[in-house]
Structure 1
Amino acid sequence: MSAETPNNTPENPENPDNPAESPLRSIHTSNFPQILSQLGISLAVTTYQAGKIIIVRADGENLNTHFRVFKKPMGMAMTGNQLSLGSGPQIINFRNMPNVAQKLDPPDKHDACYLPYSTHITGDIDIHEMAYGEDGLWFVNTRFSCLCTLDRQHSFVPRWRPAYVTALAPEDRCHLNGLAMVDGKPKYVTALGETDMAGGWRQNKVNGGVLMDVESKEVLLRGLSMPHSPRRYGDRTWLLESGYGSISQVDLNNGSTEMIAQMPGFTRGLDFCGNLAFIGLSQVRETAVFSGVPITEKASERNSGVWVVNLTTGQIVAFLKFEDMIQEVFAVQVLPQIKFPEIIDHNDDLLASSYFLPPDALSDVPKRLISS
């Protein structure tokens, strides 16, 4: 177990999207862009507190943090060339159109461009984590304490809820929040309480958290401090115990956890590449929601950003720390084999001139138009 500071000097990047005087400024260890380049990835990070998606990408020796505005962006899910985002009362679906990336400035810089192509209105259901599986998109409906999918006729389709939640009501009874998929199906979920009354999880938020098995509805772990982001990766089960600012490995045989690393912030949002974990950190505000949680007692250092942990050694090998405006992070999504992406929020000219057609229709389109 280790929580060592990486031997890399934090620096303020020369970043046109993030100048030193900007409220969106950040600092990072000098090796962060190198890590992204070596892995051939970039990151998408959501912060509902600031209403932004942050695209984290290497730009030579610098780290480029590129901001796009969305309403309350929270959970994200990716499959193939599709990216879905829970944004306030809706789910926005994006499609990567590499040909469109060629139109962006500066020329020959971007290798992906995610354009919105559909929106599904869910209503205000406090969408948390999302993931794609055999049945399409699954998401955590925290307000109604259930897992859901979508169809064309309804706001959402309830598919599962904890055994102890007795009604489908918009009352956030247990703060269901995290979702792990295994073999294309929901396998594990986390909740902040084992409760069945409106906001009941708040009464024992310090150590009332649970990890549950979706198929059996069995509670596998109790006594967790604000757990989030359960995952199955590398034949092991992981979760973030946010109240301690930690990432832990779960031993399902004896119902225990082993802390792998502890970080200076409220951990929420987790993805992997190789033997590295990319973990979101939030400063957390000293409000009634977080009162009594262990991490709030560390007032001297609570950070917001993305920390990188070596899963083999438990060492913190790099970090990106946001300052000023960005105080909370919700989701961290690795974009594999994409080094310098763009996500379009509001660009009417680009949306009006970009088309996605079926393969059989492309045979009738002049080649000079397909490549432009």
Structure 2
Amino acid sequence: MHCMDGGYSSINHWERESGKRVDDWSKTVDLRNGSTVTEFILVGFEQSSSSTRALIFALFLALYSLAMAMNGLIIFITWTDPRLNSPMYFFLGHLSFLDVCFITTTMPQMLIHLVVKNHIVSFVSCSTQMYLVFCMGVAECILLAFMAYERYVAICHPLSYAQIMSGQVCVKLVSTAWFFGLINGIFLEYMSFRNPFCRDNHIENFFCEAPIVITLSCGDPQFSLRVIFADAIVVLLSPMVLIAISYARILASILGRVSSSGRGKTFSTCASHLTVVIFLYTSAIFSYMNPCSTHGPEKDKPFSLLYTIITPMCNPTIYSFRNKEMKGAMVRALGRTSLAKTESV
């Protein structure tokens, strides 16, 4: 009995020193003894002070609100304004819808964990979040490639544009992006959770990031990481090849036959899309195309924040500020809203 009392005293002393909960500690011990993980603990904000977490919460809430408002406005105006009834804005509306879904899979959980002490997520919640991140991310990569192809058709084949990019074709292209996102998400989900988890349940990130979760599984995680690397080559580089080919032909076309003023206008319409592509692909490549090196928090967190928060927020801003038609549509939408409020009063 004396030994048991001493053991409890040492645990209480450890709890006071580290700030951890006793049940978290006992779960970790059980995992090392071979038990199966039923929940994970996100420790991305654990080392931050209360004042730092409050500042991060205010910043993330502002970014999330801005992303939801801007993307929501673009969805509304591209689907309701008759002047934006073209394939480019059809794709842009779906891109904003993907961004809304993408940021909502991670941001609300981050905000909650910044204000509560309990950072535990269930196994099902973690796997569901990871699947949605995979699904939305893959669908967005493919959709960006189709948007580059649409720009190529509009610039290089303007007389055949309406026929090539018909409404039926646009719907098929968007459906293809969603289909591959759903299927690829299932495959990556299986590869991430194919092994049981018995090492540890602490995830050194803000959400359930696949490379970090895989390293917590039993056995050698390198096979799953290599498969994800190979999948990333197909999912990321294949659309990148289509984007590169499209813009190479656009560049050759406009340099050969368009005046200087026309070149500037054409480059301006393509610059927004290229900027979005660079943001998304850079962060995704650094996060998932790294099969052999370890995925530590110092390396993964910045890129995780980039493609889960910054990119969905920047996409509507980039497209809106660089597109006169989008600016005009936003002014008209806000004007109709103000007029409706005045009439209601």
Place the TM-score, normalised by the shorter chain, in its bin. Answer: under 0.3
Q: Which has the higher relative contact order, 1 or 2, with Cα contacts under 8 A spaced 6 or more apart?
A: 2
TM-score when normalising by structure 2: 0.24
- Largest Rg, 1 or 2: 2
Which structure is higher in helix share?
Answer: 2
TM-score when normalising by structure 1: 0.23
